[in-house]
Amino acid sequence: MDWNQFRQWGKRFVDWGADYRENLRDRPVRAQTKPGEIIAQLPDTPPEQGEDMEAIFADFEEKMMPGITHWQHPRFFAYFPANAAPASVLAEMLVNSIAAQCMLWQTSPAATEVETKVLDWLRQAIGLPSGFTGVIQDSASSATLAAVLTMRERALNWQGNTKGLAAHKQLRIYCSDQVHTSIDRAIWVAGIGEENLVRIPHKGKLRGMDVDALKKAIAEDRAAGFIPAGIIACVGGTSVGSTDNIADVIAVAKAEDLYTHIDAAWAGAAMICPEFRHFWTGIEGADSIVFNPHKWLGAQFDCSAHFVADPDALVSTLAIKPEYLKTHGTDGIINYSEWSVPLGRRFRALKIWFLLRAYGLQGLRQMIRNHVDWSQQLFDKLSAHPDFEMITEPMLSLFSFRYAPKGVDDLDALNLKLITNINNDGRIYLTQTKIEGQFVIRFQCGSFDMEQRDMEFAYDVITQMAAQL
C-alpha cells in the first residue's frame, strides 16, 4: 500500500466507522459465534504475496465482524464500559499516523508536556488537591502493580530491587475481600506472594472493609514478625461496586506508617461530578490513586490515570537510567518511562486532550449523571416487579438483582438460565457475579451513546425473557 491508497482507504474506513457506530442498535451486542468458528476460516499459512485491499476488507467484514462483541453498543450493560468517544477515536488516528515512541521527553517533547498538562486537568476535574501529580499507565492493573512495588521498596528501605525479597522478612499487603483480581496479580508479579495478601472481611451497605478487622490483622502480623507494607482500598469494586471507607482506611494507614493505594478504576470518573465525591471522602490523604478514563469517561483503551502524592517514591522504585536513555543538556524534564513498568510509551495524552476540549467537563458530567439516573430508574422498575429480588442497591450506575418467582427452589440455576438466554438473544448484554454465595445478575449503565430508551428497552427484555422461563 502506498500513501495514495492509504488516503483512499482512510476515508473509506472513517465512513465505515461512522456507519458502524450509528447503526449499532441493529446488531446483537455480544458475538453470536461458536468457539473456533472464526479461526477455522483463516488460512493455515501466511500469504507469500501482498493481497488486494478489497479482498482483505471483505474478509474483515465477513469473517471478523461476526466474532466481535460490540463494547460501544448503547445496550452494553455488562462488565464496565470501555467507551471510545468520537473525538477520542479521531485523536488515536493522529497518534497512529505519527507513530511516535514517547518514552522520554526528547523522543517527543509534546507527548510529555501534554501528558503533564492533561493529567493536571484531570486532577482538578476529580477534585484532588494540587499536591498530586499524574502519569498515564496502560491500565489500572499496571498502576496497581506500580503502587505495590512502591509499597515493597518503601517498606524495605529501598533495598528490595537490589537485595531481593529473600534478604528480608515477609511483607504483608492488606485489602478487602471484594477487590479486583488485578490486586492478586500485582502481588504475584511483585514477588510478595498470594499468602501475604491479607483479605479483610467486608461489612455495611457499601460492602467496605471492616476497619477494626484491618487494625487487628496489622497488629497480629507485626507480632508474628511480618512487615506490613501497604493497604489497597477500593471505590466502586467490579463485582457490585463495593466501596471502602477511605477516610477510616487512610487514618489506619497513617497511624501504622503504611502506603495507601486507592483503586477507583471505574468509579473515579464519576468524581468529575462533585455530588459523588462523598464516596471517597478523605482521598486527599492517599499516596496513590488510579482511575480509568478508558472506562466511563470516553478515552478508549488504553488510558489509565495514576496520581501519586510523592512521585519521587514511584521514580525511585521504577527508574533505570542507562547512558543511552539520558537527555543531556536539559534540566528539570520528566521522562515518564521512569514512572511506569514498560519503557515504551504511546502518545496517550492526546486523546484526553481532544476529549476534554471536544465535550468539556459539563458534557461529560451530564453523561455520567444520566447513567446514574437511568440505573436508578431501572432499579426502581425491577423493584416494583413481584418476581424480581434486588440484591444490592445502585452504587452510581451499578446494581445487582435476580429473578425470584415463588415456588422455585434452585434460583441460581434459574438465573443462570435467564442470563444465558438474554445474552444468546443478543438485544442486550449482562454479566453475573456471586453475592454471599448466591448467583446474581449485574446491571450497569455506561455506554457513551446510551439514551433513556435503552434503559427502558433493557427492562422490557429482562422481564420478557424471564416470563419465558
pLDDT of residue 321: 66
The pLDDT of residue 257 is 95
pLDDT at 334: 86
Q: Give a yes or no: residue 175 inside a domain.
A: yes
Q: Are residues 337 and 370 in the same domain?
A: no
pLDDT of residue 331: 59
Residue 174 falls within a domain, yes or no? yes
pTM of the entire predicted model: 0.91
Which pLDDT score is estimated for 162?
85
Q: Tens of pLDDT along 183-229?
A: 888 889 888 889 999 999 998 888 889 999 999 999 999 999 999 99
Confirm if 279 and 235 have CB atoms less than 8 A apart: yes
CA 141 to chain centre: 8
**Domain encompassing residue 388:** 361-467
Same domain, 180 and 122: yes
For residue 437, tell me if it sits in a domain: yes
pLDDT, tens digit, for every residue of 44-57?
A: 999 999 999 999 99
Q: How many domains does the chain have?
A: 3
Backbone angles phi, psi at 429, to 5 degrees: -135, 125
Cα angle: 309, vertex 310, 314; to 5 degrees: 120
Note whether 206 and 310 are same-domain residues: yes
Range scoring the smallest mean pLDDT among 76-80, 246-250, 340-344, 450-454: 340-344
Based on the fold, state whether residues 59 and 172 are members of the same structural domain: no
Together in a domain, 337 and 460: no
Whether pLDDT at 324 is above 50: no
- Do 435 and 339 share a domain, yes or no? no
**Domain-terminating residue out of 346, 378, 413:** 346
Instruction: Please answer whether residues 140 and 208 qualify as being in contact, where contact means their C-beta atoms are separated by less than 8 angstroms.
Output: no
Q: Which of 155, 149, 129, 130 is nearest to 315 (CA)?
A: 149
For 280, what's the count of Cα atoms within 13 Å in the CB-facing half-sphere? 33
pLDDT at residue 182, as a whole number: 84
Is residue 96 one of the residues assigned to a domain?
no
CB-based contacts of 362: which residues, under 8 Å, 6+ apart? Answer: none
Task: Look at residues 316, 346, 376 and tell me which one is the last residue of a structural domain.
Answer: 346
- Per-residue pLDDT for 309 more than 90? yes
Give how far Cα 104 sits from Cα of 186, 284, 354, Å: 25, 29, 22
Q: Looking at the domain assignment, is residue 206 inside a domain?
A: yes
The Cα 153–Cα 158 span in angstroms is 4
The helix/strand/coil state of 278 is helix
pLDDT at 323 over 80: no
Average pLDDT, the chain: 92
| Residue 18 belongs to some domain of the structure | yes
Cis? peptide before 19, omega within 30° of 0: no
pLDDT of 337 reads 85
- Please tell me the chain's helix, strand, coil percentages from 3-state DSSP, rounded to the nearest 5: 50, 15, 35
Taking the CB of residue 316, how many other CB atoms lie within 10 A of it? 15
Q: What is the pLDDT of residue 328?
A: 40
Task: Look up the CATH number of the domain holding residue 439.
Answer: 3.90.1150.170
Task: With respect to residue 124, please indicate whether it lies within any of the assigned structural domains.
Answer: yes
Distance separating alpha carbons of residues 390 and 178, to the nearest angstrom? 19
* Terminal C-alpha separation, the chain: 54
Residues 140 and 281 in one domain: yes
> Over 90: is that where the pLDDT of 316 sits?
no
- Count Cβ neighbours within 10 Å for each residue of 352-364 and write b for 16 or more, e otherwise: bbbbbebbeeeeb
Please give the backbone phi and psi of residue 431, each rounded to the nearest 5 degrees, phi first.
Answer: -130, 175
13-22: average pLDDT: 95
Kindly report, residue by residue over 135-180, the tens digit of the pLDDT.
999 998 999 999 999 999 999 988 888 888 888 889 999 998 888 7
